[in-house]
Chains A and B, each alone.
Chain A
Amino acid sequence: MQGPLIDTLARQGITRRTFLKYCATLASMMALPPSAGLAMAEALAATRRPSVIWLPFQECTGCTESITRSHSPTLEAMIFDMISLDYQETLMAAAGFQAEEALHNAMKDNMGKYLLIVDGSIPLGLDGAYSCIGGRSNLEILKEAAEGAAAIIAMGSCASFGGIPKANPNPTGAVSVSDIFTDKPIVNIPGCPPIPAVITGVLAHYLTFGTLPELDDKKRPKAFYGETIHDRCYRRPFYDQGKFAKTFDDEGARRGWCLFELGCKGPVTYNACATEKWNGGTSWPVESGHGCLGCSEPDFWDGGGFYKALSMPADPLKIGAVAAVVGAAVGVGVSVVNRVKKGAAKSAHETTDLADLEK
């Protein structure tokens, strides 16, 4: 075991002030009181590096890419110096039996204390045969690892909500982590991939306060998923003025108008892209001219098409024309019946004269 984190950082040329500044920014980002920045820095600097196990299931490694290729020179990666990442297939040097051994040792040594990060969804179809590691199904591995975990972090949309593997028709029977466990503390960090700062923010919160941050009803940290993309979007004034880009290359698009009509899912997507941005604050999808896909929302893949505006029909209307014809036919039918009735009444009509009335 290494000494306190601050020494490790110093060896990497990261000064105490850089670290303090980072913690202050992190605390501000998570809407914690300003004093939390200092508390965070003190707690993190002295932290004893909790064990973290990272299990990959039906995933694309995009989540790992997101976190490992965050800020240069990987300031977010700093947080990874604060944890002992005991199992991460993509990043670890060990393979095969040694890797499995590392996993089991970490679980045994830190029983009840380790953090479990999961990326990817879990297939339940064919008894989980769609995705196996070391001859064991994902479900089996997850259940074993979850047993002694203090908390589970579902990293990315697949682990949080099922993501692309769960997209219609869901051939593998993919489910999310929270579909499997109901009695474990779980935090969902959806996004395809999730924002690196959000990942590190949650880890820092856990390391500092020993608890998960405040979560919403979808188990997402409120600090990052509290508002929609649309509400924080710098193009929002154009929406309110009714100025929309109609194609990706028209005058409106060039002037940076609202992308609602081009299918932007910003209004129904809860995430922090508009404020945190991507690639070290360089830009984010809407700023680069493309509408939000809603990648951090459950079942975003089946949301009726990325390029269809929210107010447009999700599917082409199928029964409209048939219904119109049927309606017209019924109308004509009823009117024929009415006319027949009228005709019958007319022919059954008998004239009445004075003699009849006097009878």
Chain B
Amino acid sequence: MMNDLQFLTWVRGPGLDIAIGIFLLGVLWRLFEIYSLGRKPDLSAPRHASGASGLHTVFRRSLPPPGMLKRSPVSYIGGYVFHFGLAVVVFLFAPHILLITNLTGLSWPGLPSQFVDLAAVVTMAAMVVVLADRINKPAKRFLSTFEDWFTWAVTFLPVLTGWMAVQHLLLPYTLMLAIHILSVEILLVVLPFTKLFHAFTLFGSRWYNGRVNGHKGVPV
């Protein structure tokens, strides 16, 4: 039976090694696979329309189409809040930056921990609201599969456990920190093989759609 510190040392050592290994393997595999698929060249004469190009679509898809914000405010606002919150928590908390620096050599200044703490709470609140919306709206619920619930959970858990570790809730800090790191490792392992891979393919696929439709003269 491992004690708390041994557990922590395992997730910081072999656990991290395995998780990052699987993550890199999966990411490269899928990127190579997806981008080598190729499509038949469109032989028709290109039609030009303003705003119809890959680049336009990459940006346009970040904004809600007219009227959609009113019809589905939770999806847009909640989605924005939790994505930005996640970015702040993941990339601007000093210990996280230290890990990234150690792995990649890149470094940048962090935010005071109170700000990150606030961002974590806001992120979790937004994620819970988005989940509640998914459960409440019949159409969303109908379209949801196991993967949707599962990916929500593996994204939510690292934020929750990290915040609980910092706040000293429920479990001793050492154990909670180890669970936090383990939950991140699960996220890393799962990411390349689920819809979470959109972190890598989001802009590529937007550009692709924009380009195909742009050729037909349709701004999408």
Contacts and interface: CB of A to CB of B under 8 A. Distances in A.
Contact between chain A and chain B defined by CB under 8 Å: yes
Interface of A: 228, 231, 239-242, 244, 260-261, 267-268, 270, 294, 297-300, 302-304, 309-315, 317-320, 322-324, 326-328, 330-332, 334-335, 338-339
A320 B24 contact: yes
A334 B102 CA distance: 33
Given A268-B174, A311-B96, A320 B20 contact: yes
B113 A299 contact: no
B173 A268 contact: yes
Most buried by A among B31, B99, B102: B102
Interface string B138-179: 000000000000000000000000000000100011100100
B21 interface: yes
A332 B12 contact: no
17 contacts: A240-B112, A260-B94, A268-B174, A298-B5, A303-B9, A304-B13, A310-B95, A311-B95, A311-B96, A314-B9, A315-B14, A317-B16, A317-B20, A320-B21, A322-B21, A324-B24, A339-B36
A268 B8 contact: yes
A331 B32 contact: yes
Nearest to A330: B29
A309 B97 CA distance: 12
A51 to B, nearest CB: 33
B25 A323 contact: yes
Contacts of B102: 309, 312-313
State the majority secondary structure of interface residues on A.
Answer: helix
A240 B113 contact: yes
Given A298-B3, A317-B16, A331-B31, A304 B25 contact: no
Contacts of A317: 16-17, 20-21, 103
Contacts of B9: 299, 302-304, 314
Given A267-B173, A328-B29, A331-B31, A299 B5 contact: yes
B36 A335 contact: yes
Contacts of A302: 6, 9
Interface string B87-125: 000000011101100110000011111100000000000
A303 B5 contact: yes
State the majority secondary structure of interface residues on B.
Answer: helix
Nearest to A334: B33
A192 to B, nearest CB: 14
Given A241-B112, A317-B20, 16 more contacts: A239-B94, A240-B114, A244-B94, A260-B98, A268-B8, A299-B3, A310-B8, A310-B95, A311-B98, A311-B99, A314-B13, A317-B17, A318-B17, A322-B21, A328-B28, A330-B32
Contacts of A261: 98
A292 to B, nearest CB: 13
A327 B17 contact: no
Contacts of A298: 3-6
A323 B98 contact: no
Contacts of A312: 12, 98-99, 102
A319 B21 contact: yes
Interface of B: 3-6, 8-9, 12-14, 16-18, 20-22, 24-33, 36-38, 94-96, 98-99, 102-103, 109-114, 168, 172-174, 177
Nearest to B12: A314
Contacts of A240: 112-114
Contacts of A241: 112-113
A287 B26 CA distance: 46
A242 B174 CA distance: 21
A327 B26 contact: yes
A300 B111 CA distance: 30
Contact of A334 (B25, B29, B114): B29
CB-based closest 4 A-B pairs: A331-B32, A335-B36, A327-B25, A327-B28
A247 to B, nearest CB: 14
A331 B29 contact: yes
Given A299-B6, A312-B102, A326 B36 contact: no
B21 A300 contact: no
B110 A242 contact: yes
B33 A331 contact: yes
B95 A309 contact: yes
Given A311-B95, A317-B103, A268 B28 contact: no
A268 B5 contact: yes
Nearest to A270: B172
Contacts of A326: 25
Most buried by A among B13, B29, B99, B177: B29
Most buried by B among A240, A241, A261, A327: A327
B13 A315 contact: yes
A338 B59 CA distance: 31
A339 B38 CA distance: 9
